[in-house]
Amino acid sequence: MSKDIFYSDATRLADLIRNRDLSPVEVMQAHIDRIAATNPNINAVVSLAEDAMKQAAAAESAVMKGKELGPLHGVPFTVKDSIDTAGVLTQRGSPIFKGRRPDKDATSVARLKKAGAILLAKTNLPEFSYWIESDNLLSGRSNNPWDLTRTPGGSSGGESAAIAAGMSPLGLGTDLAISVRGPAAQTGITSMKATHGSVPMTGIWPRAPRRFWHVGPMARSVRDIALAFSQLAGPDGHDAFSSNAPAYSDGLPLMASRPLRIGWMTGPGFGPVDLEVAAVVKSAADSLKGPGVVVEHVGIPALERDFALDVFNRIHVMEMKPAFAAATAGRSADELYKMAKTMLSLPDTSMSEFIDAEQAAERLRDGFAEYFSQYDALITHVLPIPAHKHGVEKFIIDGQEVDATYLQGATVPLNVTGLPGVALPFGKSHEGLPINVQIVGKWHDERTILHIASLLEAV
C-alpha cells in the first residue's frame, strides 16, 4: 500500500483522505519513509518540516470530526529552499544563509496551506537559485532518479527529483529562465510557469529582475497542476506584478464555436535541437489532430530576429549582479560557489546594450501577440536534449557545439515575454530518459494550455 500512496498524485490522495480511505497520518508517514529510503542517493530533500506529523494528526482529526476540508486537505507538499517557510529552514543554497528560519510563509506556501496541504520538506537548488544544475556548498548536489550520474536540472532540481522519486506528490519551484520547466523535463514530471504575475513572488528571493521571476507548481499530473494553480493564483496586496492577475477558471476553454488552432515548432529561434527531441514534439502535435483541432507547423519571425536568450542575458546581468553583490557584501570568497562568483565577475551591461535589449524584449512580446492573434497555443520542446551528465559545460546538439546556457533556448522566451507554459512528459530517448514538451499559451489563458496538456497526457 505504501507504494500506492507515494506514487499517487495529489488529487487522488486528497480524494482518498476526504473519503476516509486513507488518513493524513498514513500519507505523511509513507512520504517520510520514502524520503528516508531514497534521499541518501538522490539528495533532493535538504530539511524536513519538524511539525509535519503533528500537522497530519490535526488534519486527521478534522476529517474524523466532519469539518469542512480544503481541496488539498492532508496532502503533503514540498518547497524549493528559496521560498520562505515560517519556522522551517530556508537557506537558499548558500552558507551565507545557513540556519535562516523566516518568520512568515511566502504567499504561495500560505495559500497551499490554506487549501489544506501540509508542508513536508524543503528541496535542493543551486546557490541563489541560479543555474541549470542543483548543486551548492551548503547541501551538495542533487541527482536524477532516472540515472544518478545525471542532473535533475536547476534551479528547481531538488523539487523535480523529489516528486519524480515519490518523495512528494506536489511542490513549488521558481523560474527565472527555465527553472520549473527544465527540471520537470529532466525528471519526467509536469510543471507550469503561469503568466507573469499570476502567482505572487512575495517571500521569495532573489527577485531581480522581478519581471522575469515566477513561482509555479510541480507535480506528476496535469490535474494536480491545475488544482494547485487554482489555489495559488491572484493578487496578495504585496507583489505589484500580481495586482491585475485574474482569478483562474477551471474547465474547458471557450473556443466560440470554432476549431482550436495549435502551432508547433522546434526552431529556428530556439537554437539547435536534438533530432529525438524534435521528433517527440512533432509526435505530440500530430496526436492532437482531429475534429475541432487544427494543427500546423509554424514559425515566429520575432524569435529569429531577436534571440531571446541573448536578450535575457543582457537584461538580467544589469539587474541581478547588484542583487548578488548586496547579498555577498563582506562575505568570504570561501562562502561563494561557482555561479555567484561567475555572476560577480561578469562585465556590466552598458546602458546602450540594456536599452537595446529592452526594445528587443518588446519586439518579442509583439511577435508573440501577432502569433496568438491566429493561434490558441504553441507546442515546442522544453529542452533541446534529455537530462545530461553532471558538470557538462559544452554540448554537441544536431552537429553544433553550444554551451550549457543554450539549454534555455526554448524556455527563456516565456520569461522575457511573461507568457504561460506547461511542461509535461510525452516521450523517451533511446536511452530511456524522459522527453517533455512545452505548451505555450496566450497571456492569462492557462485554461487552454492545461486543457491541451490534459489531452496529451491522455495520449
Active-site residue among 80, 113, 193, 442? 80
Angle between helices 52-64 and 24-42 (to 10 degrees): 150
**Dist. CA 35–CA 192, nearest whole Å:** 24
Enter the C-alpha cell of residue 8. 499517487
Phi and psi at 229, nearest 5°, equal -65, -35
**Spatial separation of the C-alpha atoms in residues 15 and 22, rounded to whole Å:** 9
Residue 96: DSSP 8-state: G
Residue from 108, 142, 160, 179 carrying the catalytic annotation = 179
CA distance 122 to 131: 18
Q: Are 245 and 198 in contact (CB under 8 A)?
A: yes
> Distance between CA 43 and CA 361 in Å, rounded?
37
Catalytic residue among 94, 108, 142, 155: 155
**Which letter does DSSP use for residue 86 in this model?**
T
Q: Among candidates 411, 421, 427, which has minimal Cα distance to 449?
A: 421
The DSSP bridge pattern shows strands 377-381 and 260-264 to be: parallel
Per the CB < 8 A criterion, the answer to whether 70 and 40 are in contact is no
Q: What is the DSSP letter of 349?
A: P
Cα 308 vs. chain centroid, distance in angstroms?
19
Q: Which among 443, 422, 448 is positioned nearest to 192, based on CA atoms? A: 422
- Annotated catalytic, 94? no
Active-site annotation holds for 155: yes
Angle, helices 308-328 vs 351-372, to 10°: value is 130
242: annotated active-site residue: no
Neighbours of 391 (CB within 10 A): 10
DSSP 8-state class, residue 439: E
Q: What are the residues whose beta carbons fall under 8 Å from the beta carbon of 61, sequence distance 6 or more?
A: none
Contact 393, 292 (CB under 8 A): no
375: helix, coil or strand?
A: coil
- CA-CA distance, 253 to 138, in Å (whole number)? 45
Give residues with Cβ within 8 angstroms of 325, minimum separation 6: 344
Give the catalytic positions in this structure.
Answer: 80, 155, 179
